[in-house]
Amino acid sequence: MHTAQPKPKKRKNRPASRTYKSPGALKSYADKRDFSTTPEPPPGSANGTGNSFVVHRHHAFRLHCDLRLERNVTLLSWAVPKGLPPRPGIKRLAVKVEDHPLEYLDSEGRIPKGE
């Protein structure tokens, strides 16, 4: 017995939403920063592979790590307040924070207090 193969679905242009990010999705990120006074990268037109991630270790209110996963032209971001676990199998709280531009994949430097 043969069954008919389903027809391939056509790709649709999807509007910006919680799960799909357009280049304008980082507007709130950009509105909160003064890029003339901070070394933080502004949102750009970077195109990624969709498979990148970075773990940033930094001091904000206190030392913690940020986990950033590439997804649809942005980096989905989580703060990990107690840092990364010392060995597999230990769970850590990860708090969702605002998305960041792909330029954060290779950024480093000091961010002025209050930025």
Beta bridge partners of 77: 68, 97
Task: Let me know if residue 32 belongs to a domain.
Answer: no
Task: Let me know if residue 14 belongs to a domain.
Answer: no
d(CA 102, CA 27): 14
Task: Let me know if residue 8 belongs to a domain.
Answer: no
Name the residue among 32, 111, 101 with its Cα closest to residue 68.
101
How many structural domains comprise the chain?
A: 1
Question: Which domain covers residue 85, as residue numbers?
Answer: 48-108
Task: Let me know if residue 28 belongs to a domain.
Answer: no
Task: Let me know if residue 90 belongs to a domain.
Answer: yes
Task: Let me know if residue 33 belongs to a domain.
Answer: no
pLDDT at res. 96: 93
Task: Let me know if residue 84 belongs to a domain.
Answer: yes
Intervals of the chain under pLDDT 70: 1-3, 5-30, 32-33, 35, 38-49, 110-115
pLDDT at res. 55: 87
Task: Let me know if residue 55 belongs to a domain.
Answer: yes
Strands (E), the chain: 53-59, 63-71, 74-80, 95-100
pLDDT at res. 19: 47
